[in-house]
Structures are given as structure tokens and as C-alpha cells.
Amino acid sequence: MKQPEISKDLFNHLVDLAALQLNQQESDYIFLQLNHQLSAIQELKAIDIDPDVPIALHGVPYPVKRSPALRPDKVESCEDSSAILSEAPQLEDGYIVVPDIPHTTLE
Amino acid sequence: MEICNLSALEIRDLITSKQVSAEEVLKAHLKRIDQVDGRPGKINGKAISLEDKKKVHAFITRTEKKAFSQAKAVDEKIANGEYPGILAGVPVTVKDIFCVKDTLSTAASRILANFKAPYTATPVARMENQGSVMLGKVNLDEFTYGSSNESSAYQPSPRNPWNTERVPGGSSGGSTASVAAGEAPISLGTDTAGSIRQPAAFCGVVGLKPTYGRVSRYGLIAFGSSLDCPGPIARNAQDAALMLQAIAGLDSRDATTANFPVPNYLAAIKKDIRGKRIGLSPDYFRIAFPDADSDTYDQQEVPPAIRDAVLQAAAVYQDLGAHIVEDVPMPNTRFGIPVYFVISRVEAASNLHRFDGVKYGYRTQEVNGELKTLYRRSRGKGFGLQPKLRILMGMYVSAAQYSEQYYRRALRVRTMIRRDFEHVFDPNGDYRLDALLTPTTPSTAFPMQDVYGNSVLMQYADQLTVPANHAGIPGISFPGGLDKDNMPIGVQLLGPDFREDTILQLTHAYEQATLRADWRSNRPQVMEELPHNDEL
């Protein structure tokens, strides 16, 4: 295999940004597969794209007449908010409990 | 005739004409599940035994209590002379990627293993409103990320009812396996790159990916939000039409549903197909596999058995009076997978950021750090390999410094793929096609563990199905024969936006014309050894 596109350092940076924790076996497998996938998409770079071709965020066009009408901007109460809150792993007095959120200074 | 081998339409008609009760139908299907399914998938389940290898393992969660209550409600409505709905008493399975209120909704992932949905997905609610009886939630690749079901956190993963040493395909493999094995006549699946059509082809059933926006995604645990389509899996076109009738249409809870009339699909499919223009494209008869070691592409013709099944279907259509148009150019087909590798990963990474161990789902027990440690540990333990791989890939190709060469470029190639279809379906154009006829998959079902682990090769199982997802158009896979190993071959029809009626009509016409074909007398392996029971 040629030089991997993603270096180990960049890979570890991505893992950190993605808020993931990987064991060694996972890290080795994903690092290899990620580079395989990037090799597979190199073909994209070679495609001759006419400068006029726009991006497509959806395949099917959405003219206004085919889009659903916007809902009125009014508050609707939740039928059973306790059912939603009860899914939280840790709850206290209707608040979701999390560990410390350390103070950080934005750069 | 055995109840479990009847179609959804036949079951509905027998129930509404009081020849059989919804409860009897339910019991027959529960018995079939007991006979063929084996133990349901579990997290950290025991090792897979030789006995396990002979079973289907379609289910994650069986919902018998709910099913009996729904069946009873249908029987009561009929007894009281009330209208019971178009799916009255029809047993269904639901891919475990849909939220169903008060039911475990796991996405086949450890991170949602304890999640009981507080609401029901629109397509499921619509089936329930039409009288369906939900047997349970069926297995899939984790978060739908795969084409074999082997990546499910819930093991044993489903096996192919035609040969339990083979994969059922994916990601709606639990759905297609349950329908092929007679555990349910219809199932609700989703298709992001071929996840309805590819497993339908592998399991010898019909799978329909509707037009994007035809069926609501509300309550579907999202993967690629611009590509995901819920759709029906059935044993014939009529049942797929019946189910689509129930689930299609505008939904105020999904702003991408289309405000476009829903036709009467069951009436439409019986129409004559004379004069229909059906295209064959050489670009769908060859496949490309990348070689990761050399960075080269191997171009190959699709296997002869698959090519011949498609050409035979074309001959059937010609005999029925359709016009076959050859050499239709679809030059951007081969870019479908590289484009998908980019777009779907970006969307997946975005969608998976919501799982953080705070609001719902799995939370690590090792809470002795700060919030980010909680995120990292919860996501690290909760996600399997495939979600992690997709998150990292999506973040990389959409990062500011790489976005232009990958993500934005992929979105522009997506336009080119869409234009291929617009060109050949244009009613005033050179080709004026009603449908494009293609193979569904580049192979029949492969052996378990043959491809799993190679994430690139696995993705290429979808290369003939994924262009329809990029373009948003509808596609259907239907059985078109068996290969030398007695494994089903899928044939695909792709149609213009919102013309599900046309591709269902063409599928139905093929089924009627080949009713007596020799291969139709073969049955899935798991059904061969069944005692006869529950005859009507």
C-alpha cells in the first residue's frame, strides 16, 4: 500500500475531535480501513466536472408547490415530557445530571 | 394452503371475510417464528452453536403482547362491522431502526440497547392505523451500516433462509429474512444505498425503495438524511403496493415529504404494460472493484447467471408488448460508490453526534472525570466499529481544508448522476424510458464472514443500487431466478420520480408471466424441513 493519506497524528486528532475512545485493536483496524476508503475515493479527484455543474444536496427537486406547508409558529406542549426525561441515564429534580464541565477559555 | 405462505392481501381478505381470525393468523406466524428463527440476537450473547447456524435469527425483540392486543382489536372491529383498515390483521416485522412507542428501539447498537422510544415513527403508525399486527423488531447492521447484517451488536446476526451459511444481505437483512422464511408476509425496511433492494435480492423477495420524500422519515433513526428512504419488503409486488399505500404521503412532521398525490397502487399494477419503454444500460452490466494495494480498479462483467436473469426479464417484457431500448448511456453509474463514501459519511457523522451518554441510551459506568471523558467513554463503548469508522471518515472529508476536494466535489458528481436519470426518463428526450432494467447486485448472497471486515469491498455490494439513492428516484428488486447454488437472483427496475406505480406494475406483470417458471417451485432451505401445519 502506498503512503497512507491520513497520518497517525491526524488520525488521533480526529478521534479526539469525534469524542471517541478506541482500544488498540479498534484503532489499528479503523486506521487501516479509513485509508483504504480514502484510496477508493481518489477516483473522484480525476472526474472531469463541468464548471457549471451545481451541487446536489437532494436528488429529488423540491419546488415550493411540492413542499409541505410551513406549520404555524406556535408553541405546542409535549404530551408526556416525563417519558422523554426518564430516558436520561441520570436525572435529579427534572434536571439531567452530568459530570463537571471544566471552564475553558476560547482561543 | 398454509397461513404463513399466504400473501398479505390474501390474509387481509380472509380475515375481513371472517374465514379466519386475526388471532389465528398471528398464532400461525408465531409458530413459524418458533420453528425457524432460533434465539433472538443479544448483546454479549453466548457463542454461536451448530444449531444456531441452521436458524434465521431475524429478531431482536419479539412484541407478542402488543401483537395479541392489535389482533384482538382487528377481530373486534370486524365483529362490530367497523372498517378494520387495508392491512387488517396482517402480521408485520419492523426493522429495529424505527422508533415504536414503549418498545426497545436499538438500531442494533449497544449505545441504544436500553432505549425505549417515547413515540412511534410515522410509517409504523400508519401501518398500525390500517390494522397491522406487529410481531417484533428485526435485526440489521449496526445503525444500518453494512450490507450483510454481520456488524450488528446483536448476535447471532440474521442468516439467509435459502442457505444459512450465507448472509441475508443488508442492512434490512432481518426484514428480508423474516419475509423469505414466512415469519411475516411484509416488513418495513430502509434503503440508503440499497439496504432494502440488496437484501431483498439475496433473500428472494420483493423490496421497494420509494422516491425520496414519498414516505416519511419521522421516527427513523437517521443515517444519511438526504438518502434514507423507508419502504416495503414483501413476497410479491401486490403486497409491496398494499404496504406502500398504507405508508406513503405527506407528513407534517417530516418537511422533506412531498406534497404530491398518492395514487391507487393496487389498481395501477394491474394495468397492461404494452407500449412501456424499458431500458437496458451496459453501464449496469459491469462492475468495478478497487484494489486497495495497488490503487487500481478492476472492471468486470456481472456474473453470467445474473446477466441472463435480467436479459430473460427483458424478453418477458418484450413478449408482453413492452419496447426494450438497448444501449442506454448511464456514464456516471461507476461514481456512485465513491460519491456515497463521502456524502453518506458526512451525514452519518453529523447524525451520530447526538449520541453522547447524556440524554438517552448507553452511559459509561466509569464516571470519574469531566464531561468530555463521559462522552468519549460512552461513545467508545457504545458504538461498534462501523459507526466509529463512519464518524471519522465523515469528519475528515467535510473538514474545511479537505471539503472542496471531497465533499463539495461529491455533491457535484451527485448532480451528474441525477442528470443521467433525468436524461433517459425525459418524456421528450431521446430515450423516453418508463423504467431502467438492471441487475440488483453484482453477486448473489455471499458466505458469512467472506467479506465482513473489508469495509471497502462490502460497500461495493451496493454499486448497482446506490445511484437511485443519489438521484432520489424509486427502485424495486424482485426475484428473477436462482443461481447454480440455488441462491436467489435479484432483478432491479428504476423509475422516474414518484412512479412507484410503474415499477410495481412492471414487477407484477413479470410475476404473472413467470408464475409457472421451474425456479419458482424451489423454497428456502429453512422451510424445506417444516412439518405441514396451520392449513386452511
Q: What is the tens place of the pLDDT at every residue in B138-170? A: 999 999 999 999 999 999 999 999 999 999 999
% chain B with pLDDT above 90 = 91
- pLDDT at res. A2: 58
Q: pLDDT tens digit string along B162-188?
A: 999 999 999 999 999 999 999 999 999
B465 close to B171: Cβ distance less than 8 angstroms: no
Residue B229: DSSP 8-state = E
CA distances from B451 to A36, B27, B41, B147, B459 (A): 15, 37, 21, 10, 10
Active-site choice (B21, B157, B171, B178): B171
CA distances from B98 to B115, B144, B190 (A): 12, 11, 9
Active-site choice (B21, B195, B443, B477): B195
Domains and their CATH numbers in chain B: 3-270+503-517 (3.90.1300.10), 337-397 (no CATH)
Residue A53: DSSP 8-state = P
- Please state, rounded to an integer, the average pLDDT across all residues of chain B: 95
Residue B171 annotated to the active site: yes
**Terminal-to-terminal C-alpha distance of chain A:** 39
Q: From the CA atom positions of chain A, what is the Rg in Å?
A: 23
CA distances from B317 to B211, B325, B503 (A): 23, 11, 12
- pLDDT at res. B288: 79
Q: pLDDT tens digit string along B225-277?
A: 999 999 999 999 999 999 999 999 999 999 999 999 999 999 999 999 999 99
Give chain B positions within 8 Å (CB) of A82: none
- pLDDT at res. B291: 66
Contact A55/B415, CB-based, under 8 Å?
Answer: yes
Q: pLDDT tens digit string along B454-480?
A: 888 888 889 999 999 999 999 999 999
Residue B40: DSSP 8-state = P
The mean pLDDT of B344-367, rounded to a whole number, is 94
DSSP H helices, chain A, are 8-17, 24-40, 43-46, 81-85
Q: What is the pTM of this model?
A: 0.97
Q: pLDDT tens digit string along A20-79?
A: 999 999 999 999 999 999 988 888 888 999 999 999 998 999 888 998 888 889 998 888
Residue in B259, B358, B455 closest to A37 by CB: B455
Task: Please give, rounded to a whole number of angstroms, the shortest distance from the CA of A70 to a CA of chain B.
Answer: 8
Residue B225 annotated to the active site: no
Q: Is B491 strand, coil or helix? A: strand
Active-site choice (B55, B66, B77, B95): B95
Residue in A22, A80, A88 closest to B388 by CB: A22
Task: Please give, rounded to a whole number of angstroms, the shortest distance from the CA of B505 to a CA of chain A.
Answer: 22
Residue B187 annotated to the active site: no
Boundaries of every domain in chain A: 8-46
